């Protein structure tokens, strides 16, 4: 009995050490992935803010401020979830998958090839759901930006809304945006929820095919029952990482859609530098002159057409006209907010 206890102790101590090492390794992995992910996200937010300050003002004419805030906060947060949760689990699943594939090939290469036959079907299924999911999740991220933009506008103008008795209209408009965001997210969940069951069906199909072919080999004395049983367990282990990855499919697609919206801003060209032939600005005299100025925010739609006037230093001039006549445009052209 004493010898048995001693042997049991010798077996338990290394096992306990392995568990402790595994726990420490997992903690280190989580910390490293979290630190690297947060560093990347902080750098990404900094790059977005830097780009906001360098793009031409035309960019802000077509992008609501609230939507840009949503890209910095909400879309970057989707990438945070991707780096902190999905990336680490994906790496572990990939290594486990490689190990199972090697074991299956070593155990019986014929059954391995049969079980791998469902992989092309799985790739086609993933590609199909990927295309659909990318569209609906992009729409979900866009409607989230619309909600943020509407919220920013309505809160900023709450005094004017109350003064002009427009609170009812503003509430209705926000509810419409909120409902559109809800519907887009429900549609996204509907697409992603169909992917995991599809993977489960394929994994069950693979097990059935392996059992059928393996049973045929057993009947003809080309395979033992023990090898077939072990291989079925390996097939289940083979699909387990894939099934786990399929449950994270929604987060992956949301992260990709958020990254797409982020890099749309980062790819926006910066304000062009002055040409070498540009006229240098001398000492300001306080005199302003427009000579046959033609300007439009969009190609083919002029706001100003052949505008000429001169304002002397110290002179006060009032610009009067209907809404959209170009008064604000003239004021923006003087400090060269637009080229």
294 and 159 in one domain? no
pLDDT tier at 177, thresholds 50, 70, 90: very high
307 and 220 in one domain? no
Q: Which of 137, 155, 134, 141 is nearest to 73 (CA)?
A: 141
The CB density around residue 288, as the number of other CB atoms within 10 Å, is 14
Name residue 288's beta-bridge partners: 311
Query: Domain tally for the chain?
Result: 2
Q: What is residue 224's predicted lDDT score, i.e. its pLDDT? A: 86
pLDDT tens readout for residues 240-257: 877 777 767 767 777 888
245 and 299 in one domain? no
Helices (H), the chain: 2-54, 58-62, 65-70, 76-81, 87-107, 109-116, 119-156, 158-163, 167-193, 195-219, 225-247, 249-266, 327-333
299 and 172 in one domain? no
Percent of the chain with pLDDT over 70: 94
Q: Report whether 84 contacts 33 (CB < 8 A).
A: yes
The model's pTM: 0.67
106 and 251 in one domain? yes
237 and 317 in one domain? no
Identify whether 96 is part of a domain: yes
Nearest 5°: the CA angle 177, 178, 180 is 65
The CB density around residue 18, as the number of other CB atoms within 10 Å, is 10
Burial of 310 (0-12, 13-18, 19+ CB in 10 A): exposed
Which residue segment(s) compose the domain that 82 sits in? Answer: 2-266
Q: Report whether 134 contacts 261 (CB < 8 A).
A: no
CA distance linking residue 162 with residue 152, whole number of Å: 16
258 and 306 in one domain? no
Angle, in degrees to the nearest 10, between helices 195-219 and 109-116 = 150
328 and 225 in one domain? no
pLDDT at 180 over 90: yes
Q: What is residue 3's predicted lDDT score, i.e. its pLDDT? A: 53
Identify whether 282 is part of a domain: no
214 and 317 in one domain? no
Q: What is residue 117's predicted lDDT score, i.e. its pLDDT? A: 85
Average pLDDT over residues 293-305: 84
Phi and psi for 122 in degrees, rounded to 5? -65, -40
pLDDT at 87 over 70: no
The CB density around residue 159, as the number of other CB atoms within 10 Å, is 8
Q: What is residue 179's predicted lDDT score, i.e. its pLDDT? A: 94
Q: Which of 334, 335, 330, 307 is nearest to 319 (CA)?
A: 330
158 and 249 in one domain? yes
């Amino acid at each position: 009995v004493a010898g048995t206890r001693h042997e049991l102790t010798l077996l338990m101590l290394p096992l306990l050490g392995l568990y402790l090492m595994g726990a420490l390794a997992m903690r280190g992995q989580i910390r490293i992935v979290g630190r690297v992910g947060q560093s990347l996200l902080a750098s990404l937010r900094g790059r977005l803010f830097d780009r906001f300050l360098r793009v031409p003002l035309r960019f802000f004419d077509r992008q609501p401020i609230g939507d840009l805030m949503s890209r910095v906060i909400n879309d970057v947060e989707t990438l945070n979830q991707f780096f902190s949760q999905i990336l680490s689990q994906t790496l572990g699943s990939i290594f486990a998958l490689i190990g199972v594939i090697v074991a299956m090939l070593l155990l019986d290469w014929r059954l391995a090839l049969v079980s791998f036959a469902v992989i092309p079907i799985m790739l086609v299924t993933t590609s199909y759901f990927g295309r659909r999911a990318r569209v609906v999740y992009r729409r979900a991220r866009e409607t989230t930006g619309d909600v943020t933009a509407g919220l920013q506008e309505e809160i900023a103008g709450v005094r004017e809304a109350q003064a002009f008795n427009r609170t009812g209209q503003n509430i209705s408009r926000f509810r419409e945006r909120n409902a559109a965001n809800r519907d887009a997210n429900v549609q996204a969940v509907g697409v992603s929820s169909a992917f995991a069951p599809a993977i489960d069906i394929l994994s069950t199909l693979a097990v059935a095919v392996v059992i059928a072919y393996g049973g045929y080999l057993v009947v003809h004395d080309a395979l033992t029952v023990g090898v077939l049983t072990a291989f079925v367990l390996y097939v289940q282990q083979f699909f387990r990482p894939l099934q786990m990855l399929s449950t994270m499919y929604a987060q992956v697609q949301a992260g990709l859609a958020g990254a797409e919206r982020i890099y749309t801003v980062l790819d926006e060209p910066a304000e062009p530098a002055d040409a070498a032939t540009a006229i240098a600005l001398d000492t300001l005299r306080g005199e302003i002159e427009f000579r046959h100025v033609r300007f439009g925010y969009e190609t083919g739609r002029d706001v100003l057409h052949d505008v000429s006037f001169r304002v002397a230093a110290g002179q006060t001039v009032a610009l009067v006209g209907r809404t959209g006549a170009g008064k604000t445009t003239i004021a923006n052209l003087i400090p060269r907010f637009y080229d």
